[in-house]
Amino acid sequence: MSLKIKALTKSIWVFHLAASPCNNCDIEILDLLTPRYDVERFGIQLVGSVRHADAILVTGSMNRKARQRLKRVIAQAAKPCFVIAIGNCSCSMEMFANSYNQMECLDNVSEVHAYIAGCPPKPEAMIQGVVALIQAQLAALKK
Amino acid sequence: MTPNRTQIIPIGPYHPLQEEPEFFKLHVEGEKVVKLDIEIGYNHRGIEKLAEGLTYDQVPFLVERVCGICSTSHPFACVNAIEDVGGFDIPERAKYIRTFVGELERIHSHLLWLGLAGHFLGYNTVWMWAWKYREPVLDCFELLTGNRNHYAMFKPGGVRRDFEDEDLPTAMRILDGLERPLLMFAKIAMADPVLQARLKNVGVLTYEDCVELGALGPTSRASGVPWDVRRDHPYAAYDLVEWDVVTTENGDVFDKVVVRVLEMLESVKICKQCLEKLREVRDGIDANYKEIPPGEGIGHHEAPRGEVFHYVRSDGSNRPIRYKIRAPSFMNVPTNNRAVVGYTVSDATITLAAIDPCYCCTERTIVVDADSGKQLMGWKELLRLSQEKTRKLMEKYKSRMDRVWI
């Protein structure tokens, strides 16, 4: 397992999982791939299938319908796989916490490895979040 | 027995082409699409109901989060509706600031769509270029409003934040710098042989279809329906600046690209006029209304995708008792049924994307019995669900609630 995690930190392929978001975090994720931020130079790439992914970027506050699909998609991912909560909605449900169509927070459904707060988080914040996640994983391996 | 020749191709709900979860079922015979099923509901968050628990000052923040791409359109329509309840007027400077933010957002939204359309076609160069030129627009937003998206500029009676005089030249420079790439995109769209071959006569929506289905925004304007609520029912400063409604005749995907590119140039024109006016007009940014009288109000805004409509009913307290949103995609999504059917599967994605659909704006809850077609879950049931959830939460947080209330 430790070797796998070490390999994961080299070039992270991410899968974007939108669970009833407002689209803003999703756009900022796509923004990361475009010329100004261009995270592909770090080997971070958006992939089409969750089975290829090393990390899942979850946005949005997860309604009743999206929740079941989200559970299944996360279960389909090859393990070990990091789950990163992007934006206030997936971190804490934000202002949708009281809605009749929301059930629970993301961390009740799956283990979350990194929280990136903001509404939406700036692309720089997302890069920093992923860097912090890699550093934390490497530090844990050294122990 | 004859075999069923129709096959189903599912797209979604989690598909790499889509940034939002939605589910399309394409019924195909060979290469040809014969029927389309659209299943949405992955994005429904119950915003109308949540709005009833918030005060008038908080509602713009909530409706801003209906959609992240048109995150000014909903607050714009919301404040228009709330001001309509009391018949309030707002200072002229606030009007220009509102118009500026609304139009700058149109530029960013159309550039975003142009890029995604290029991506859907496998033309990633267009995607990268469009999004490269979108960044200065977001910089302009960050400079003037403090955030790249979700600007939180609007409040009933005015705007929340004034533009500083020393920021205006920078904004003007950014707008000047936008004109060249926009003209370049116009030229590319007109001259590129690949785009011509892919988009001309694909996903055609006729004038009659648009009128019948009530299509809005660039979707209808590309078919020659000159509806634009900015001109037909002016609000903010749209009647104080000069601009034109862009229409084209053919109604195919190509024309939708052309309409959007030309609209961006119009938006740049409006933004520049607003900035010029902001140098002179200084009558405050907030009318400071304290009380919302009982009554009803409606508000429009021509969002990048079409007309956003908000309705609010007030009983004289500080919260709305009913809040209703109609987003443009709600009218535009059904046009897919006309535009996609009869074309090949490879044209389906670009046609589905051509209306610039926004599902997080559109989601409604209605539970229907499939056999009888009877509505099962009405307003009362939703209310019950909502109240049940609060009760459950109260039990869960019992220990903490005591501390809060004492």
Predicted pLDDT of residue B1: 45
Instruction: Check residue B31 and give its pLDDT.
Output: 81
Most confident range, picked from A134-138, B95-99, B200-204, B288-292? B95-99
Partner A contacted by B150 (CB < 8 A)? yes
What confidence score (pLDDT) does residue B366 get? 65
pLDDT of residue B118: 86
Helices (H), B147-227: 168-191, 193-199, 207-213, 217-221
CA distance A142 to chain B (A): 36
Tokens of A117: 């707060």
Question: Is residue B377 scored above 70 in pLDDT?
Answer: no
Residue B274 confidence (pLDDT): 95
In this predicted model, what pLDDT tens digit does every residue of B120-139 receive, in sequence order?
888 888 889 999 999 999 99
- Average pLDDT of the segment spanning B243-266: 92
Query: DSSP for chain A?
Result: -HHHHHHHTTS-EEEEEESS--SHHHHHHHHHHSTTT-GGGGT-EE-S-GGG-SEEEEES--BHHHHHHHHHHHHHSPSS-EEEEEHHHHHH-GGGTT-TTB---HHHHS--SEEE-SSSPPHHHHHHHHHHHHHHHHHHHH-
Mean pLDDT of B89-113: 94
Task: Identify the residue with better confidence: B315 or B371.
Answer: B315
Q: How far apart are CA A35 and CA B127, in angstroms?
A: 10
Supply the mean pLDDT for chain B: 87
Among B61, B56, B76, smallest CA distance to B309 is for B76
Q: pLDDT class for B182, splitting at 50, 70, 90?
A: very high
Give the pLDDT band (50/70/90) at residue B367.
low
Tens of pLDDT, residues A109-143? 899 999 999 989 999 999 999 889 988 888 888 87
Confidence class for position B376, pLDDT limits 50, 70, 90: low
Interface test with B, best of A14, A22, A65, A71 (most B CBs within 10 A): A22
Is B47-362 CATH 3.40.640.10?
no
Contacts of B20 in chain A (CB under 8 A): 18, 21, 23, 26
**Number of Cβ pairs closer than 8 Å across A and B?**
126
Q: What is the ipTM of this complex?
A: 0.89
pLDDT for position B406:
41
**Sorting pLDDT into bands at 50, 70 and 90, what band is B104?**
very high
Of A38, A40, A32, A37, which Cα lies nearest the Cα of A13? A40
Tokens 């609060």 belong to B390
- Would the pLDDT of B371 be above 80? no
Nearest CA in chain A to B136: A36
The predicted-structure confidence for A20-36, as pLDDT tens digits, reads as follows 888 889 889 988 988 99
The domains located in chain A, with CATH, are 2-133 (3.40.50.12280)
Identify the bridge partners of residue B32 per DSSP, sorted by sequence position: B29, B344
* B262-290: pLDDT as tens digits: 999 999 999 999 999 999 999 889 998 88
| DSSP letter for each residue of B276-306 | HHHHH--S-SB-----PPSEEEEEEEEETTE
Give the residue-averaged pLDDT of A6-12. Answer: 79
CB contact under 8 A, B45 and A18: no
